[in-house]
Structure formats: structure tokens, C-alpha cells
Amino acid sequence: MEPTRTESAISVATTAVRAAPVADRPPLPRRPRSLPERHSVRAQVLAALRDALASGELAPGETYSAPALAERYGVSATPVREAMQRLASEGAVETVPNRGFRVAGRSPRDVAELAEVRAALEIPAVMRLARTLPPERWDELRPLAEATVAAASVGDRAAYAEADRCFHRALLLLTGNRQLVIVAEDLHRKAQCPTELVPLPGTTELLADALEHTALLDALRRGDLATAEELSREHLAGVTGRSPGHP
């Protein structure tokens, strides 16, 4: 049966729409290939905002509007507001009525308290694992530790912050305790928020921090529990007074 004029017109219009070029928009920041890709727009925006916070691109005390950020990332304001609300629930930003969101920098006391709580949760868990896991299991974490070193060596604070979370999450996943992983990661994200009046870490600081991951794995691999515990305490205590990107 021959198509009607209406059907032909619809077919031509559909083909034209499909062939029409999409307007160029500034892409969201690229993520490290070794890390999981985000599939939803809101998740992509949330990842981009986390990067901007970790890198210092979004500065403590500054207020940013959702429409302005939406234009910057080439998306509508809705996913930006949703992502900012998520960050607000984590304490990374504060809602400013009729203006947008203010980046809420951590005080040195906040950072010290977060480090203390993280140490109370993570160190006993790691020590239990050290007494029960076969040495070769620690080799599974080696690529993640090396990813933190790679990000730190080029001074990429945003990539380092995410690689650091991946390492600590994988470490705690070995416990099999899902609730511990969830709580610890939430504390980790809060600890990575900008710190008031503290300069952002440079390549030297990031690299020193990253190498503590590999040193910890070395100690765990050879069964040196005393060194492993000491390194864990120094690693977590090191966040006191530091800027985002540190564990």
C-alpha cells in the first residue's frame, strides 16, 4: 500500500529531526577511565560538582546559583538543584534563599572530629582483616593504591579525591559489612570538603598522602600489624588541618 501524503510528510520530518545537528555544549569534566561511569545527568552533574569542590574551583564561602552552574555544564537547572540538594544533605554546601548555594568550608575542629570518628571505625576493621585475610588478598587493592599515586603525581586533586575514596571503600568492602562501608564513605566525603583558611594541597602533599596507601598494603602483605596500625593512624590523623583531596 502506498503511503499517504500525511505519512510521507511525517516520515520526512522525522528524518530531518534525526539528522539535525545537536547544539554544541560544554562537556562535563571527564572522569578517570578506571572509575565507574555515571549514566544519569544528575549523577554526572553531581560528579562534576564534587570535582569542582575537591579542586577548589568552587571556593568556600562563595555562593553559586543553579542557573549559572547549569549554563556552565550545558544542562537544565533541575539536575543542578538536585545535585546541590544532595551536597547540602552531606554538609558540603548550604542553601541560600533566593540566591543559590554557598560552599560550606569545614573548620579545623570539624576536620579533626571527622578524622577521629573515621579512625574509630576504620582502624579496628583493618586490624581485624589483617589477622584473618591471607596475604595475597591485599594484592587486589594494589591497582587502586597505584591509581591514587598516579592522580597525585600530576597534582589532579579531583581525580585523587575520587581514587582515594575508591581505595578506602574497597578496603572496607573486604569486611563484608555493608553498613560500615556506607557510613565510612559518608564520613570520607565530608572530610574531603574544603577546609577554611587552609591552602589547597599541591603535588608534593598529594603524593606523600598517596604513598601511604602503598606503604599500608606493604605492611599488611608481610603481616606487620604494628606498622599497619601505625600507618593507618597517621594516615587518618593527617587529614587534620588539610584541604580537600586528602583521605
86-110 average pLDDT score: 88
* Closest residue by Cα to residue 142 from 213, 232, 68, 44: 213
User: In whole angstroms, how far apart are CA 50 and each of 117, 126, 183?
Assistant: 22, 27, 18
Interval 37-88: pLDDT, tens? 445 888 999 989 988 888 888 888 899 999 999 998 899 999 999 999 999 9
In the predicted structure, residue 197 carries a pLDDT above the cut 80: no
Top-confidence residue, 61 or 147:
147
In the predicted structure, residue 154 carries a pLDDT above the cut 70: yes
- Under a CB-based contact definition with an 8 Å cutoff, are residues 134 and 84 in contact? no
What pLDDT, on a 0 to 100 scale, did the predictor assign at position 66? Answer: 93
Q: What confidence tier does 96 reach under pLDDT thresholds 50, 70, 90?
A: very high
**Burial of 135: CB neighbours in 10 Å, binned 0-12, 13-18, 19+:** exposed
In the predicted structure, residue 11 carries a pLDDT above the cut 50: no
CA angle 158, 82, 28 (to 5 degrees): 40
Top-confidence residue, 171 or 203:
171
pTM of the entire predicted model: 0.73
Sole residue written with cell 593507618? 232
In the predicted structure, residue 242 carries a pLDDT above the cut 60: no
Q: To which H or E segment does residue 25 belong?
A: none
In the predicted structure, residue 16 carries a pLDDT above the cut 70: no
What pLDDT, on a 0 to 100 scale, did the predictor assign at position 39? Answer: 52
- Under a CB-based contact definition with an 8 Å cutoff, are residues 53 and 154 in contact? no
Strand partners, 246: 244
In the predicted structure, residue 247 carries a pLDDT above the cut 80: no
What pLDDT, on a 0 to 100 scale, did the predictor assign at position 12? Answer: 40
For residues 246 and 147, give the distance between their C-alpha atoms in angstroms, rounded to a whole number. 14
